[in-house]
Amino acid sequence: MDTRKITTPRGEFNLREGGKKDGFPVVMLHGWPETSYCWEGVAKHLNPSLRIIAPDLRGLGDSERTMKMEAYQKVELAKDIISLLDTIDINEFFLAGHDWGGIVAQELALLVPERVKRLVILNIAVLTNPVGTMEARSVIFSTGGVPFWYQYFQQMPILPETMIKGNENVWVRFFFGQAGKDGTIDPKALEEYVRCYSIENTPATAAFYYRSMQLDAAHWVTLAPKKFPMPGLYIHGTRDTVIIPAFLNHIEDGFESIEVKTVDAAHFLQEEKPKEVAQLMNDFLK
């Protein structure tokens, strides 16, 4: 995909674009510790009639680094994307998000439901399904909560900034596990993530995604009674050790209409199995 920088009223953001320039837009939001590059594999297999729009979220990729924790509340990140789309004159669109990008996508879909025609979520908790989320967390904490260690580490003051700087290569590659070591995930993708994590202040801005969870939590309580009105698709990588299958319990309670599909992959399913993920999206985004 091609890249360009977009200056919006909320800041400067890096943007990847592909597909048909006058096609119906599909906005794809990445998670941590990735960038918009994570959608390159999927983009090769998506319906060529779609216009692909994949921005780097604030504080990651080549978008601006803002040294203020409040800017990383997920509803604020959603407002960033709305501002970007307004700047490039995109009104209605399909929306997809993985990991933190999946949370931002959900916030966005609840802010402007009339603009989001279909919603795809990959391997992240559903904000309108608190019961399923609590059940999943109970399962994880019953064995000590170890899968969440990196979230607690990044909430600590000073430590991420001090310990990750200079060790970005080891830090980033660790989270992609065997799929990153054996080439299942594109080696160029990992190089790109290491490069972007090595940009000044990134250990801090990436940590703000987790430090701001205390602010997010109070807001998310208010979302529990809501339902997503647009058709939804949840694609789950079944070998994920953090977003375990229990997160999908009661998922239908949070949507007017939801399909659930599974892929034999771990957390970074769109990078491990891009063709399979793209096919599921193509079947749904019509």
Counted domains in the chain: 1
CA distances from 246 to 3, 80, 87, 134, 277 (A): 37, 31, 39, 9, 21
Beta carbons of 244 and 137 less than 8 angstroms apart: no
pLDDT for the residue numbered 278:
98
* Closest to 108 measured CA to CA, from 84, 74, 133: 74
Return phi, psi of residue 227, to 5°: -130, 145
> Residue 118 sits in which domain range?
2-284
Query: Measured between alpha carbons, how far is 123 from 140 in angstroms, rounded to an integer?
Result: 15
Give the CATH number, domain containing residue 31.
3.40.50.1820
Q: Say how many CA atoms lie within 13 Å of 278 toward its Cβ.
A: 18
Return phi, psi of residue 118, to 5°: -150, 145
pLDDT for the residue numbered 224:
86
pLDDT for the residue numbered 29:
99
Q: Fill in the DSSP letter of residue 214.
A: H
Residue located via tokens 């290569």:
169
Q: pLDDT by residue for the chain (286 residues), tens digit each? A: 999 999 999 999 999 999 999 999 999 999 999 999 999 999 999 999 999 999 999 999 999 999 999 999 999 999 999 999 999 999 999 999 999 999 999 999 999 999 999 999 999 999 999 999 999 999 999 999 999 999 999 999 999 999 999 999 999 999 999 999 999 999 999 999 999 999 999 999 999 999 999 999 999 999 988 999 999 999 999 999 999 999 999 999 999 999 999 999 999 999 999 999 999 999 999 8
pLDDT for the residue numbered 131:
97
21 Cβ contact partners less than 8 Å away, ≥ 6 residues apart: 51
Q: ω into residue 187 within 30 of 0, thus cis?
A: no
Q: Say how many CA atoms lie within 13 Å of 111 toward its Cβ.
A: 19
- The pTM (predicted TM-score) of the whole model is 0.98
